[in-house]
Chain A
Amino acid sequence: MGAKVPRNFRLLEELEKGEKGLGAEACSYGLAEGDDLLMSNWNGTILGPPHSVHENRIYSLKMHCGDSYPDKPPTIQFINQVNLPCVNAKNGQVDPTKLPCLANWTREMTMETILIELRRYMAHPSHKKLPQPAEGSTY
């Protein structure tokens, strides 16, 4: 195998992309604490997809990249309450077995991949009409 991109290089790359706003418009992400040298804790936002109950909502979530990222996916936890089958209703954690991109994680994927996938998940025909908690409520 060729050389693998080490964790920190990867995360720096993602950080730059997030901060400069080069990625998809509907998602944003960045470090939770700017001085976090290990770049473990991240914030993400997802702009609710149109034509769904999530339209015009902004969902904030926390992402934690462990030491083995990007070999292992980050853990994802919603801050804003959301009613989705892949999200634990008690604490907002995303169940990695229920979200395809986490279940089939490869190291090419990024946090942006997850955010976009989550957004698509929200827009999925079987999820886009789910009743949602009041906007702004948090876990």
Chain B
Amino acid sequence: MADESNPVEDAPQVNFKVKTSSDGNHNITMSEAATVLDLKTKLAGDDFEKIPVERQRLIYSGRVMKNEDPLSTYKIKAGNTIHMVKSAASNTTNAAASSATIPGAGVPTNMAAGTANNPLAGLTGARYAGHVPLPGAEMFGADGGMGAPPSEDAMAQMLEDPNIQQTMNEALQNPAVVDMMINSIPGLRDNPQARQMLQSEEFRRMMTNPEAMRQAAQMQRLMRGTAGGASAFPAPGVTDNTPGAGGATGTPNASTPAANPFAMFGPPPGAGGANPFAALLGGQGAAPRAPGSASPPSGTDAAAANPFASLFGGAGVGAGAGAGASPFGLPSMTPEMMEQAMAMFGGGRGGDLFGGLGGGRGGSASPPPPADRRPPEEMYADQLRQLNDMGFFDFDRNVQALRRSGGSVQGAIEQLLS
């Protein structure tokens, strides 16, 4: 049956979008009298998804669309969106899923496959929904912007989730992801060993090791404060790297006094870190934020993109531990690699996840408050005045809302109203 020349040409045309699980988006205009099958046939065409009709499933407004129904049944309004889901043939799902990691796989074979172009797209896509807890609402400001970065506890907790670990492992095994990470980080782009490092088994383990995360956070605190006085890191000999202890690096005793291998980092330069979630949730290209109000940018550190921002907020911290801990027990990282990693951290200040975010605040974010310790009434003087003008008089609530919204009045109001 020909699509366009069907007998019901008089029926009104409707224009709608079809959104596929692989990020495809099509604008389609069809007669309301056309059936769902017609639509599927159209979508099966070369111009669109090239998916056989029988494997397409269309959902509009919470309803699965039946082949024989005319589109009018569903009262599609102009500009609205129909979701298309590809149903994979049963039993081939495993094969299909793994094929997603092969770059340049021709026709997508399941819903995850279409994300091959942007390896991170899948993280927010259907494949991971429910599978991996995306950052909770509390991680974001009221207006959807970034609020406080997750605390290291929250991050460690997240990393303890086996699903997350698996996802990160998977991601790091995927050459496309590694490529993207490397290319988006100036410090790594010219580094021939970066790939090797990122893909090394130990590195991955450390990035997914909550314990390493905590250590890194500790280290970070230490560096911020004293730039290498008494150390939270044990000397090489002291490290208890029990072989085969769950595969993770040993947990150094935080109170062991020893030379601090990280003293060589020097005082933290303090340029703002990149927004750790920018890449995860908004595509690629972690956009460096303005430095926190209390941390003066120090010229040379302009390229402060957190190397691991593109994966997970906490990963940057984890990497700090990874890079730092490896010389003690992990021979597979060469000294050169270490050096480069350290240079990267020293220059790029990659470890400072918390510095530049949220307009210099962070009380709830990292237990040791970053340098901005001004009282809230001073910090948010303007915003508080505005809120007062608008009739919000409860000081404590106002401050709390402002904190959560990172100082945005708009966000704070939404918080207060909710």
Contact = CB atoms under 8 A, between A and B. Distances in A.
B61 A116 contact: no
Interface string A37-69: 000001111010111000110101000000000
Interface string B177-197: 000000000000000000000
Nearest to B25: A21
Nearest to A55: B93
A34 B87 contact: no
Contact of B130 (A29, A107, A116): A116
A19 B77 contact: yes
Most buried by A among B17, B81, B97: B81
Interface in B85-105: 85, 87-88, 90, 93, 97
A28 B90 CA distance: 23
A22 B59 CA distance: 14
B63 A20 contact: no
B93 A29 contact: no
A24 B130 CA distance: 11
A58 B80 contact: no
A19 B75 CA distance: 11
Given A30-B62, A34-B75, A56-B93, A25 B131 contact: no
Contact of B62 (A24, A44, A108): A44
A28 B61 contact: yes
Contacts of B130: 26, 49, 116, 119-120, 122-123
A2 B414 CA distance: 9
Given A19-B77, A21-B80, A47-B126, A29 B62 contact: yes
B357 to A, nearest CB: 23
B418 interface: yes
Contacts of B64: 45, 58, 60
B83 A43 contact: no
Contact-size category for B:
35 or more
Contacts of B87: 56
B80 A19 contact: yes
Interface in B365-407: 392
A108 B60 contact: no
B80 A20 contact: yes
B131 A45 contact: no
A56 B127 CA distance: 11
B417 A2 contact: yes
A3 interface: yes
Interface in B12-39: 17, 19, 21
Contacts of B417: 2-5
Nearest to A122: B130
Residue with the greatest number of chain B CB neighbours at <10 A, chosen from A28, A55, A107: A28
A25 B125 contact: yes
Nearest to A25: B126
Interface of B: 17, 19, 21, 57, 59-64, 75, 77, 79-83, 85, 87-88, 90, 93, 97, 112, 125-127, 129-131, 133, 137, 392, 416-418
Given A25-B125, A50-B131, 9 more contacts: A28-B60, A28-B83, A49-B129, A50-B93, A50-B97, A56-B93, A58-B64, A58-B85, A116-B130
16 contacts: A19-B81, A20-B81, A25-B83, A25-B125, A27-B129, A28-B61, A28-B62, A28-B83, A43-B61, A45-B59, A45-B62, A47-B59, A49-B129, A50-B127, A56-B87, A60-B63
